[in-house]
Structure 1
Amino acid sequence: MMFDSNYDLKDESETLRLAESMASHLFPGMNLYLKGELGSGKTTFVRGVLRGLGYQDKVKSPTYTLVEPYSLEKFTIYHFDLYRFKDETEWDDAGFREYFNNTSICLVEWPEKAGHILPKPDISIELSHTPHGRHLHLISYTSIGTECLKAII
Protein backbone atom coordinates (compact mmCIF):
# COMPACT_ATOMS: atom_id res chain seq x y z
CA MET A 1 0.00 0.00 0.00
CA MET A 2 2.16 2.81 -1.31
CA PHE A 3 1.27 6.43 -0.66
CA ASP A 4 3.09 9.59 -1.59
CA SER A 5 2.82 13.29 -0.93
CA ASN A 6 4.70 16.37 -2.06
CA TYR A 7 5.53 19.64 -0.33
CA ASP A 8 7.21 22.82 -1.50
CA LEU A 9 9.03 24.35 1.44
CA LYS A 10 10.33 27.91 1.24
CA ASP A 11 12.94 27.73 4.00
CA GLU A 12 14.59 25.69 6.74
CA SER A 13 11.90 26.57 9.29
CA GLU A 14 9.19 24.99 7.09
CA THR A 15 11.31 21.84 6.76
CA LEU A 16 11.69 21.70 10.54
CA ARG A 17 7.95 22.23 11.09
CA LEU A 18 6.94 19.45 8.70
CA ALA A 19 9.44 17.04 10.27
CA GLU A 20 8.23 17.99 13.77
CA SER A 21 4.65 17.25 12.74
CA MET A 22 5.70 13.82 11.44
CA ALA A 23 7.53 12.95 14.67
CA SER A 24 4.42 12.25 16.73
CA HIS A 25 3.28 9.67 14.15
CA LEU A 26 6.48 7.59 14.24
CA PHE A 27 6.71 4.28 16.07
CA PRO A 28 9.59 2.05 17.18
CA GLY A 29 10.62 -0.32 14.42
CA MET A 30 10.22 2.26 11.66
CA ASN A 31 12.94 3.04 9.12
CA LEU A 32 13.04 6.37 7.27
CA TYR A 33 15.47 6.89 4.40
CA LEU A 34 16.52 10.40 3.42
CA LYS A 35 17.71 11.05 -0.11
CA GLY A 36 18.95 14.22 -1.76
CA GLU A 37 22.06 16.02 -2.83
CA LEU A 38 24.44 17.69 -0.39
CA GLY A 39 22.79 20.61 1.39
CA SER A 40 19.24 19.64 0.44
CA GLY A 41 18.05 19.46 4.07
CA LYS A 42 18.40 15.83 5.15
CA THR A 43 20.02 16.61 8.51
CA THR A 44 17.63 19.54 9.00
CA PHE A 45 14.74 17.10 8.58
CA VAL A 46 16.28 14.73 11.16
CA ARG A 47 16.71 17.69 13.53
CA GLY A 48 13.01 18.50 13.11
CA VAL A 49 11.98 14.92 13.87
CA LEU A 50 14.11 14.92 17.02
CA ARG A 51 12.74 18.31 18.12
CA GLY A 52 9.22 17.00 17.58
CA LEU A 53 10.07 14.13 19.94
CA GLY A 54 11.31 16.53 22.61
CA TYR A 55 15.08 16.33 22.02
CA GLN A 56 16.56 19.79 22.56
CA ASP A 57 20.33 19.26 22.37
CA LYS A 58 22.50 19.74 19.30
CA VAL A 59 21.85 17.46 16.32
CA LYS A 60 24.90 16.91 14.16
CA SER A 61 25.38 14.96 10.99
CA PRO A 62 27.21 11.69 11.69
CA THR A 63 29.25 12.00 8.49
CA TYR A 64 32.45 10.69 10.06
CA THR A 65 31.03 8.35 12.72
CA LEU A 66 28.36 6.94 10.36
CA VAL A 67 25.78 6.78 13.18
CA GLU A 68 24.66 9.03 16.02
CA PRO A 69 22.32 7.54 18.66
CA TYR A 70 19.71 9.65 20.47
CA SER A 71 18.22 7.99 23.55
CA LEU A 72 14.71 9.27 24.13
CA GLU A 73 12.19 8.36 26.81
CA LYS A 74 10.31 5.71 24.79
CA PHE A 75 12.94 4.54 22.29
CA THR A 76 16.29 5.27 20.65
CA ILE A 77 16.69 7.03 17.33
CA TYR A 78 19.71 6.05 15.25
CA HIS A 79 20.72 8.71 12.74
CA PHE A 80 22.92 7.26 10.02
CA ASP A 81 24.86 9.23 7.42
CA LEU A 82 26.25 6.78 4.86
CA TYR A 83 27.84 9.40 2.57
CA ARG A 84 31.35 8.08 3.35
CA PHE A 85 30.25 4.46 3.54
CA LYS A 86 32.72 2.18 1.79
CA ASP A 87 31.49 -1.41 1.74
CA GLU A 88 29.25 -3.99 3.40
CA THR A 89 31.97 -5.37 5.67
CA GLU A 90 32.05 -1.99 7.39
CA TRP A 91 28.33 -2.43 8.13
CA ASP A 92 28.66 -5.90 9.60
CA ASP A 93 31.86 -5.14 11.53
CA ALA A 94 30.20 -2.17 13.25
CA GLY A 95 27.11 -4.20 14.17
CA PHE A 96 24.75 -1.70 12.51
CA ARG A 97 22.32 -4.43 11.49
CA GLU A 98 21.35 -4.79 15.18
CA TYR A 99 20.12 -1.16 15.30
CA PHE A 100 17.26 -1.99 12.93
CA ASN A 101 14.86 -3.53 15.43
CA ASN A 102 11.40 -3.14 16.99
CA THR A 103 12.61 -0.87 19.80
CA SER A 104 14.30 1.86 17.77
CA ILE A 105 13.72 4.17 14.82
CA CYS A 106 16.42 4.43 12.15
CA LEU A 107 16.82 7.58 10.05
CA VAL A 108 19.30 6.93 7.23
CA GLU A 109 20.86 9.61 5.04
CA TRP A 110 22.36 8.38 1.74
CA PRO A 111 20.74 4.90 1.92
CA GLU A 112 21.71 4.24 -1.69
CA LYS A 113 25.36 3.97 -0.57
CA ALA A 114 24.50 0.77 1.33
CA GLY A 115 23.02 -1.01 -1.67
CA HIS A 116 20.90 -4.01 -0.75
CA ILE A 117 22.01 -4.49 2.87
CA LEU A 118 19.45 -2.13 4.41
CA PRO A 119 15.98 -3.37 5.30
CA LYS A 120 13.05 -1.95 3.35
CA PRO A 121 12.11 1.58 4.45
CA ASP A 122 8.72 2.47 5.86
CA ILE A 123 9.10 5.96 4.39
CA SER A 124 11.45 7.44 1.81
CA ILE A 125 12.06 11.18 2.13
CA GLU A 126 13.44 12.81 -1.01
CA LEU A 127 14.62 16.42 -0.76
CA SER A 128 15.68 18.61 -3.66
CA HIS A 129 16.56 22.24 -4.23
CA THR A 130 14.11 24.50 -6.06
CA PRO A 131 14.45 28.15 -7.10
CA HIS A 132 12.22 29.12 -4.15
CA GLY A 133 13.44 26.71 -1.43
CA ARG A 134 13.24 22.95 -1.47
CA HIS A 135 10.87 20.24 -2.60
CA LEU A 136 10.00 17.32 -0.34
CA HIS A 137 8.62 14.06 -1.74
CA LEU A 138 7.47 11.51 0.84
CA ILE A 139 6.77 7.91 -0.19
CA SER A 140 5.49 5.14 2.08
CA TYR A 141 6.32 1.49 1.45
CA THR A 142 4.49 -0.09 4.39
CA SER A 143 1.08 0.28 6.01
CA ILE A 144 2.59 1.98 9.08
CA GLY A 145 4.43 4.39 6.78
CA THR A 146 1.18 5.15 4.96
CA GLU A 147 -0.62 5.83 8.25
CA CYS A 148 2.14 8.23 9.25
CA LEU A 149 2.03 10.18 5.98
CA LYS A 150 -1.75 10.40 5.94
CA ALA A 151 -1.71 11.76 9.50
CA ILE A 152 0.44 14.77 8.54
CA ILE A 153 -1.56 15.87 5.49
Structure 2
Amino acid sequence: MKVDSINEWQNIAEQVISKLQYNILLLKGNLGAGKTTFTQFLLKKLGSEDEVSSPTYSIVNEYHTPKGKVYHFDLYRLKNIDEVYDIGIEEYLDNAFLCIIEWPEVYEEDLHGLNYHTMSIINTGESREITFE
Protein backbone atom coordinates (compact mmCIF):
# COMPACT_ATOMS: atom_id res chain seq x y z
CA MET A 1 0.00 0.00 0.00
CA LYS A 2 1.18 3.48 -0.74
CA VAL A 3 0.19 6.99 0.41
CA ASP A 4 1.04 9.96 -1.79
CA SER A 5 -1.39 12.49 -0.29
CA ILE A 6 -3.19 13.15 2.99
CA ASN A 7 -6.54 12.03 1.52
CA GLU A 8 -5.19 8.55 0.78
CA TRP A 9 -4.94 7.83 4.51
CA GLN A 10 -8.73 7.37 4.45
CA ASN A 11 -8.35 4.48 1.98
CA ILE A 12 -5.61 2.93 4.11
CA ALA A 13 -7.82 3.18 7.22
CA GLU A 14 -10.69 1.46 5.38
CA GLN A 15 -8.41 -1.33 4.18
CA VAL A 16 -6.97 -1.89 7.66
CA ILE A 17 -10.42 -1.97 9.29
CA SER A 18 -11.58 -4.57 6.76
CA LYS A 19 -8.60 -6.79 7.69
CA LEU A 20 -8.68 -6.35 11.50
CA GLN A 21 -9.03 -9.70 13.25
CA TYR A 22 -7.29 -8.94 16.55
CA ASN A 23 -7.54 -6.14 19.09
CA ILE A 24 -3.84 -5.24 19.01
CA LEU A 25 -2.24 -3.18 16.23
CA LEU A 26 1.48 -2.52 16.45
CA LEU A 27 2.29 0.66 14.55
CA LYS A 28 5.89 1.01 13.42
CA GLY A 29 7.59 3.86 11.63
CA ASN A 30 10.22 6.50 12.21
CA LEU A 31 9.48 9.98 13.58
CA GLY A 32 7.14 11.84 11.27
CA ALA A 33 6.17 8.76 9.25
CA GLY A 34 2.46 9.32 9.83
CA LYS A 35 1.54 6.97 12.69
CA THR A 36 -0.68 9.50 14.46
CA THR A 37 -2.13 10.77 11.17
CA PHE A 38 -3.12 7.21 10.29
CA THR A 39 -4.64 6.77 13.76
CA GLN A 40 -6.72 9.94 13.28
CA PHE A 41 -8.19 8.57 10.04
CA LEU A 42 -8.70 5.10 11.55
CA LEU A 43 -10.64 6.42 14.53
CA LYS A 44 -12.79 8.64 12.35
CA LYS A 45 -13.61 5.60 10.18
CA LEU A 46 -14.51 3.68 13.35
CA GLY A 47 -17.03 6.40 14.17
CA SER A 48 -15.15 8.22 16.91
CA GLU A 49 -15.90 11.90 17.35
CA ASP A 50 -13.01 12.36 19.80
CA GLU A 51 -10.10 14.60 18.95
CA VAL A 52 -7.13 12.35 18.24
CA SER A 53 -3.64 13.47 19.23
CA SER A 54 -0.29 11.85 19.79
CA PRO A 55 0.08 10.18 23.20
CA THR A 56 3.78 11.07 23.31
CA TYR A 57 3.56 12.68 26.75
CA SER A 58 0.50 10.96 28.19
CA ILE A 59 1.75 7.53 26.98
CA VAL A 60 -1.86 6.39 26.43
CA ASN A 61 -4.95 8.15 25.07
CA GLU A 62 -8.45 6.71 25.30
CA TYR A 63 -11.02 7.16 22.53
CA HIS A 64 -14.63 6.13 22.24
CA THR A 65 -16.15 4.44 19.18
CA PRO A 66 -19.52 2.74 18.63
CA LYS A 67 -17.62 -0.58 18.69
CA GLY A 68 -15.92 0.10 22.03
CA LYS A 69 -12.90 1.79 23.54
CA VAL A 70 -9.72 2.32 21.55
CA TYR A 71 -6.47 2.88 23.41
CA HIS A 72 -3.61 4.60 21.59
CA PHE A 73 -0.19 4.04 23.15
CA ASP A 74 3.17 5.65 22.49
CA LEU A 75 5.90 3.59 24.15
CA TYR A 76 8.76 5.68 22.74
CA ARG A 77 9.82 7.13 26.11
CA LEU A 78 9.56 3.86 28.06
CA LYS A 79 12.96 2.41 28.75
CA ASN A 80 12.15 -1.20 29.64
CA ILE A 81 9.41 -3.79 29.88
CA ASP A 82 8.79 -3.04 33.59
CA GLU A 83 7.69 0.49 32.69
CA VAL A 84 5.24 -0.97 30.15
CA TYR A 85 3.66 -3.14 32.84
CA ASP A 86 3.66 -0.19 35.28
CA ILE A 87 1.22 1.67 33.02
CA GLY A 88 -1.15 -1.33 33.27
CA ILE A 89 -0.99 -2.34 29.64
CA GLU A 90 -2.52 -5.77 30.27
CA GLU A 91 -5.70 -4.25 31.68
CA TYR A 92 -6.01 -1.98 28.66
CA LEU A 93 -5.56 -4.94 26.31
CA ASP A 94 -8.25 -6.90 28.15
CA ASN A 95 -10.81 -4.07 28.00
CA ALA A 96 -10.39 -2.61 24.53
CA PHE A 97 -12.04 -2.98 21.17
CA LEU A 98 -8.62 -2.01 19.80
CA CYS A 99 -5.17 -1.09 21.16
CA ILE A 100 -2.92 0.83 18.79
CA ILE A 101 0.69 0.73 20.01
CA GLU A 102 3.24 3.12 18.52
CA TRP A 103 6.93 2.32 19.13
CA PRO A 104 6.06 -1.22 20.32
CA GLU A 105 9.61 -2.59 20.27
CA VAL A 106 10.09 -2.38 24.07
CA TYR A 107 6.98 -4.57 24.52
CA GLU A 108 6.97 -6.76 21.43
CA GLU A 109 8.92 -9.65 22.96
CA ASP A 110 6.25 -10.09 25.65
CA LEU A 111 3.45 -10.50 23.09
CA HIS A 112 4.15 -14.24 22.68
CA GLY A 113 0.89 -16.15 22.57
CA LEU A 114 -1.18 -13.07 21.73
CA ASN A 115 -2.60 -12.43 18.29
CA TYR A 116 -1.83 -9.02 16.84
CA HIS A 117 -1.37 -7.09 13.62
CA THR A 118 1.74 -5.15 12.63
CA MET A 119 1.64 -2.12 10.38
CA SER A 120 4.81 -0.40 9.19
CA ILE A 121 4.94 3.06 7.65
CA ILE A 122 8.12 3.98 5.81
CA ASN A 123 8.59 7.57 4.67
CA THR A 124 10.42 7.38 1.33
CA GLY A 125 10.52 11.15 0.88
CA GLU A 126 7.93 11.25 -1.91
CA SER A 127 5.37 8.92 -0.33
CA ARG A 128 4.69 6.48 2.50
CA GLU A 129 5.11 2.75 1.92
CA ILE A 130 2.77 0.75 4.14
CA THR A 131 2.76 -2.91 5.03
CA PHE A 132 0.07 -4.59 7.12
CA GLU A 133 0.19 -8.10 8.56
TM-score by length of structure 2 reads: 0.85
- How many residue pairs get aligned? The number is 132
Counterpart amino acid of 1:33?
Answer: L
Structure 2 residue 48 is matched with structure 1 residue 45: no
Instruction: Determine helix, strand or coil for the equivalent of 2:47.
Output: coil
**Pairwise mapping of residues 58-69 of structure 1 onto structure 2 (< 5 A)?**
58-69=51-62
1:86-97 pair list within 5 angstroms: 86-97=79-90
State the partner residue of 2:71: 78
RMSD: 2.1
Unpaired segments of 5 or more residues in structure 2? none
1:130 positional shift: 1.8
Measure the CA separation in 2 of the matches of 1:56 and 1:67: 18
Instruction: Identify the residue that residue 129 of structure 2 maps to in structure 1.
Output: 135
Contact 2:16-2:132 within 8 A present in 1 as well: no
1:85 alignment partner, SS class: coil
**Are residue 36 (structure 1) and residue 29 (structure 2) matched?**
yes
Percent identity (aligned): 38
Counterpart pick for 1:15 among 9, 14, 23:
9
Structure 1 segments, 4+ long, off by >6 Å, are none
Which residue does 1:144 correspond to in 2? Answer: none
The SS at the match of 1:84 is: coil
Work out the CA distance in 1 between the residues paired with 2:37 and 2:96: 24
Give me the whole-angstrom Cα distance separating, in 1, the residues matched to 2:104 and 2:115: 10
**d(CA) in 2 for partners of 1:91, 1:113:** 8
Equivalent pair of 1:21/1:52 in contact (CA under 8 Å): no
Secondary structure in 2 matching 1:12: coil
* Separation in 2, partners of 1:79, 1:131: 26
Letter in 2 for 1:30: N
Normalised TM-score (structure 1): 0.75
- Give the superposition deviation at 1:102: 6.3
